[in-house]
Structure 1
Amino acid sequence: MELHGYFRSSASYRVRIALNLKGLHYDYHPVNLLKSEQREPAYRSLNPQGLVPAVIEAGHVFTQSLAILEWLEEQHPEPALLPRDPLTRAHVRALSYNIACDIQPLQNLRVLKYLQSELAASEEQKIDWIRHWIDGGFQALEVQLKQGPAPFAGGDTPGMFECCLMPQIYNAERFGMDMERYPHLARIAGNCATLPAFERARPENQPDSTL
């Protein structure tokens, strides 16, 4: 299996966590977003969107991080990323989509570049934009996570939501947000931080973090 990604990409980070949780080996191929390598023909032949990540296995290319997580779940069902119970499974998916569809895309590198290059947003305005959308999403998640004291959103083990949450918290802290304002998210993040699968997936532990 090959993973084409960027060390600080939230979507790539999600997939790294999932692969680690499932104990799957992969070869990592860095795609430098700051150098626009995702737009080069060689990479676009894998992913016409010019986005990361892309996963390749047995000649098949998989894109979109949550679609990749679903595929991993179907191909390698144990350990599970989604709960068995249909209601809890739907709940975990909704929490995950909150981050992957509603929070993170608004702070995507291409969106931030557009804000600054086309709309003349200042650095301060860019950071305010990022914090605004993270805060709104995190506050909603706080309410949704009040349902129980389990260590993770789906129960006793981490899964799809935690794969999405930890990269988003990494971004929140990178832009100076105080996670003490979100105690339920902080509690889950603290539980994740004790697990090697999450530690190995952190951006600073990737080979391209020093390039």
Structure 2
Amino acid sequence: MASGGVEEPKKLKLYSYWRSSCSHRVRIALNLKGLDYEYIAVDLLKGEQKSPEFLKLNPLGYVPVLVDGDTYLEEKYPQHPLLPQDLQKKAMNYQAAVLVSANIQPYQNLPIIGYIKEKLGPDEMLAWVQHHIKNGFAVTMQLWRSYWKPCWEVCYGDEAFLADLFLAPQIDGAVRRFNIDMNEFPILAKINESYKEHPAFQGAMPGKQPDAPPEARTEVRFFKE
């Protein structure tokens, strides 16, 4: 209890894995909104996401899990909205988020690439991931040229919205984990450079998380698991 008998708000809890791109998105959102939270590490390589305790939080056994009652982050904490009011810009943000979450990132989930590696070997696994990332990035570039260019400033600079939450971790993971040459995607490379200047994005970087191994401070560029 705080002074005067007023109960202090409970601190948010984020169950996260340092290199999970989905967790990375939530960390950026929390930083943008200026929300303090307790970081609870879940080691995916050790299978901690399948423990009975964690499955009570998320029966799917995936990270992240944000514990903060039964309301949605955006509605409960309206500061720094994650979607712009302009309908065209809002639509672009939704498109970018869906493109990453449904058509790129699922193909690099640990269960998926673990299965590919087991059946076909590590070289085919890496080729699989690179194919889907490059295909998704190529579509992103096409959408930018055809539809997004007039409102692309929402994806870098002073403003940051939902599209950035999805693009930043995906681009960073593509470079650091899967050895994607971003010279093929110059617009995305330019956007990624702008993320490096934004404190909310920098604080959410995988190598800065408490469960990141020492070598992650510089991070090798090739996926080893």
Task: Return the TM-score normalized by structure 1.
Answer: 0.89
Give the corresponding residue for 1:20: 31
User: How much does 1:150 deviate?
Assistant: 4.3
Post-superposition offset of 1:45: 0.5
2:31/2:200 contact within 8 Å kept: yes
Q: For residues 116 and 11 of structure 1, what CA distance do their matches in structure 2 show?
A: 22
Corresponding residue pairs, total? 199
Q: Compute the displacement of 1:149 (Å).
A: 6.9
The 8 Å contact of residues 88 and 154 in structure 1, kept in 2 or not, is answered as no
Tell me the percent identity.
38
Residue 218 of structure 2 corresponds to: none
Residue in structure 1 matched with residue 161 of structure 2 by the alignment: 159
Q: How does 1:45-84 map to 2 (within 5 A)?
A: 45-58=56-69, 60=70, 71-84=72-85
Q: In the alignment, is the contact (CA less than 8 A) between 1:16 and 1:201 conserved in 2?
A: yes
Q: Which residue of structure 1 aligns with residue 150 of structure 2?
A: 148
Q: 1:95-134 residue pairs with structure 2 within 5 A?
A: 95-117=96-118, 120-134=119-133
Q: Per-residue CA shift, 1:115-173, capped at 9, x if unaligned?
A: 123xx211110000000000000011112223237433388511111111111112211
- What amino acid maps onto 1:126 in structure 2? M
Gaps of 5+ in 2: 1-11, 215-225
* Partner of residue 87, structure 1: 88
Deviation at 1:210, TM superposition (A): 2.2
Q: Distance in 2 between matches of 1:169 and 1:155?
A: 17
The 3-state SS of whatever aligns with 1:157 is coil
Letter in 2 for 1:164: F
Distance 2:86 2:77 in 1: 18
Structure 1's unaligned 5+ residue stretches are: 63-70
* Partner secondary structure for residue 14 of structure 2: strand
Q: Distance in 2 between matches of 1:194 and 1:154?
A: 10
- Rg larger in structure: 2
CA contact (8 A) 1:89 1:154 kept: no
Give 1:190's match in structure 2, choosing from 185, 188, 193.
Answer: 193
* CA distance in 2: counterparts of 1:50 and 1:2, whole angstroms: 17
How far the C-alpha of 1:95 sits from its partner, in A, is 0.9
In 1, are the aligned partners of 2:100 and 2:136 still within 8 Å (CA)? Answer: yes
| TM-score relative to the length of structure 2 | 0.83
Whether the 8 Å contact between 1:151 and 1:188 is mirrored in structure 2 is no
